[in-house]
Structure 1
Amino acid sequence: MNGPESIFGLFVGLIFFALIIRLVAGGLDRERVRQYFRSRGEELLEMHWSPFGPGWFGEKNDRIYSVQFRDRDGNMHAGHVKTSLMSGVYVTNDHIVGQDEIASASHSTVDLLQPKRETVEQEKARLRKRLAELEAQSDHHG
């Protein structure tokens, strides 16, 4: 098996090997990115390989993914991450795209249960009144 058949077999073998390496790296990347968001109290919702994402030009080792995640406050984010085994996870182009409906509903319920906050001027007036009451008590007892 010399000649074109062996070269073609070698070529197919190399492509197959590169594909296997890429799939393994992608699985490791997904878990690394998931752990990164989890460590920040956030939840990774979607992750897709984006080889020509922001910062791809000149990049040799890091792989770029488009991501969607939910932060601790229920805000939905979209952005990109760059990652590799050696460089960790770096988030770029992160921006809020909306609020999770469940989190939004729970925040509005909490807001209804909390008392309305005083304005600064109302609080100053309340504190002045209380200070005057305490001074009057001190003068009365002293």
Structure 2
Amino acid sequence: DLGLELKDASIDMLGTANKVEVTKDNTTIVDGDGDENSIDARVSQIKAQIEETDSDFDREKLQERLAKLAGGVAVIKVGAASETELKERKLRIEDALNSTRAAVEEGIVAGGGTALVNIYKKVSEIEAEGDVETGVNIVLKALQAP
């Protein structure tokens, strides 16, 4: 992204970390630290790239990168007695993570009909005439239905 190659990197470009774990598929840096100005500049650059991109895939990858730089990353290790149980637990955790991501990105609607009660109060305050009044009354009846 910066136009640099690995061979051109120098020690002063690097930060520090409390723990680094490298596997064939992943690199995890725990409690990383570096120059705040450089990190802030990179965060701003990634935010600009998110705004500019048209690709959902690129946007998702950039958002992941942004979360990692901003310190919003957690490592969840899952264990189980059997392979089947492990797969089940991983799926449940993935579902929970996806729900959390959706809530953060799109907001949360109160459950148990609370949102419908709140909407009913707002819709009933609308003063309208004619066809609009008819529409308001239809919505109010729909909100009262079980």
Q: Which has the larger radius of gyration?
A: 1
Q: Same fold (TM over 0.5)?
A: no
Higher relative contact order (CA 8 A, sep 6+): 1
Q: TM-score, with normalisation over the residues of structure 2?
A: 0.25
Q: TM-score, with normalisation over the residues of structure 1?
A: 0.26
Larger helix fraction of residues: 2
Larger strand fraction of residues: 1
